[in-house]
Amino acid sequence: MQTISLLLLLICATCRIASSIKDGLLPNGNFEYGPKPSEMKGTKVVSPKAIPNWEISGVVEYIKSGQKQGDMLLIVPEGAFAVRLGNDALIKQTMKVIKGMFYSLTFSAARTCAQEERLNVSVSPNYEKNDYGLFPIQTMYSSNGWDSYAWAFQADEPLIEISIHNPGVEEDAACGPLIDSVALKTLYPPKRTPANLLKNGNFEEGPYIFPNTSWGVLIPPHIEDDHSPLPGWIIESLKAVKYIDSEHFSVPEGKRAIELVAGKESALAQVVKTTIGRSYVLSFTVGDANNACEGSMVVEAFAGKNTVKASYQSKGKGGFKRAILAFKAESSRTRIMFYSTFYTMKSDNSGSLCGPVLDDVKLLSVRKLHHV
Ligand SMILES: *[C@@H]1O[C@H](CO)[C@@H](O)[C@H](O)[C@H]1NC(C)=O
Ligand SMILES: *[C@@H]1O[C@H](CO)[C@@H](O)[C@H](O)[C@H]1NC(C)=O
């Protein structure tokens, strides 16, 4: 009897470790469990292991929702607590993962008082290259000041350490971004199918979106494209695209889509193998996310040197239309690319950037173009 219960206990213990790699929040990923009062000086956390499941260094503050800083009321998107990464502050957590698998990390951040706030997200060990993501968090896209960001990596070991670091040093040591809700999701690299020469054309595979947040996830531009949080796609140019979910936005097809929020400064691209001289049809959906993003919108699509401008008149209430670009391949590799011609701002006086929604992108080889 005792042996059995011990066995059950052991099995349960294994279960709990394994459950830490389920898609969703990291253990204490929303910082709801905080330091003991004896491990804090005011709001500053003074012991490196005071926040359960995390290890910290530098100036880290434990922030309660509703806390005031000057005139600013600090809000917290998930639960009642968050952390603030001040001068040279770092938070890290060790995770059990599957070696060789791809993961995307999503976290929410809000800027506070520093001039130029950015975060350095990294994973170790990382043998192939010094892999990290640098996130400037100057531009706000949501109206409440919080945005969520995604980054992706391949696990080089079954035990990894995920770090979020504020490399900045400000005059006020406590200035720096607030962090909340850190989550991990396993990414399954999608394959081409006979029905679509593009991978992940409907954007269903992508980073974790917090069920309780209504502002989507920003996918920043990638310098190296070998592992994108949006499998198959490269975010080019300077600014992020926004990954949106059907629970909070109008999504033309399936549960996920992309909102092109930064005009020509954020482009979405994929390179596909094509046969020179063969005819292809690129088709895609352009719409709006039902997020008060109104006006004339244009999505420009490129296939190599060929291009089409798909215009869409948005009332900001959701809706979409289909557009196509037929072309003859001039190369064995064709670059498919999309961007929004214009910057658009929400009509709700928030000043937030928004833009057209892109979804359900398909590339097919056709016998003759006039059959389209
Ligand atoms: C970001 O963090 C990584 C890993 O710690 C480090 O190697 C890299 O130099 C950092 N980059 C910047 C710009 O701080
Ligand atoms: C979402 O918010 C509700 C109410 O605030 C809370 O009970 C629930 O745990 C939250 N869900 C997640 C996944 O955080």
Q: What does DSSP assign to residue 174?
A: T
CB atoms within 10 A of CB 212: 12
Residue with token string 């997200």:
121
Q: Is ligand 1 within 6 A of the CB of residue 120?
A: yes
Nearest CA to ligand 2 atom 1: 212
Give the mean model confidence (pLDDT) for residues 178-190: 94
Tell me the helices (H) and strands (E) count for the chain, helix number first.
1, 28
Report the CATH number of the 188-371 domain: 2.60.120.260
Nearest CA to ligand 1 atom 8: 132
Q: Is ligand 2 within 6 A of the CB of residue 211?
A: yes
Res 121 pLDDT > 80: yes
Provide the pLDDT for residue 136.
Answer: 87
This prediction has a pTM of 0.90
Ligand 2 centroid from CA 64, angstroms: 17
Structure tokens of 90?
């770092």
Nearest CA to ligand 1 atom 5: 122
Res 73 pLDDT > 70: yes
Ligand 2 centroid from CA 69, angstroms: 26
Give the mean model confidence (pLDDT) for residues 211-224: 85
Q: Do domains 21-186 and 188-371 have the same CATH topology?
A: yes
Nearest CA to ligand 1 atom 12: 120
365 pLDDT tier (thresholds 50, 70, 90):
very high
* Host H or E run for residue 2: helix 2-19
Question: Comparing C-alpha atoms, which of 57, 56, 166, 184 is closest to residue 114?
Answer: 166
Provide the pLDDT for residue 15.
Answer: 44
Q: Is ligand 2 within 6 A of the CB of residue 125?
A: no
Closest ligand 2 atom number to CA of residue 78: 14
3-state secondary structure of 84: strand
Structure tokens of 266?
């954020």
Closest ligand 2 atom number to CA of residue 210: 13
Write the pLDDT tens digit of every residue in 232-268. 999 988 899 999 999 999 999 999 999 999 999 989 9
Mean pLDDT of the chain: 89
Least confident range from 78-92, 168-182, 197-211, 284-298: namely: 168-182
Q: Is ligand 2 within 6 A of the CB of residue 180?
A: no
Domain 21-186 listed as CATH 2.60.120.200 = yes
Q: Is ligand 2 within 6 A of the CB of residue 212?
A: yes
Q: pLDDT: is 190 or 308 the higher one?
A: 308
Nearest CA to ligand 2 atom 3: 212
The structural domains of the chain, with segments of one domain joined by +, span 21-186, 188-371
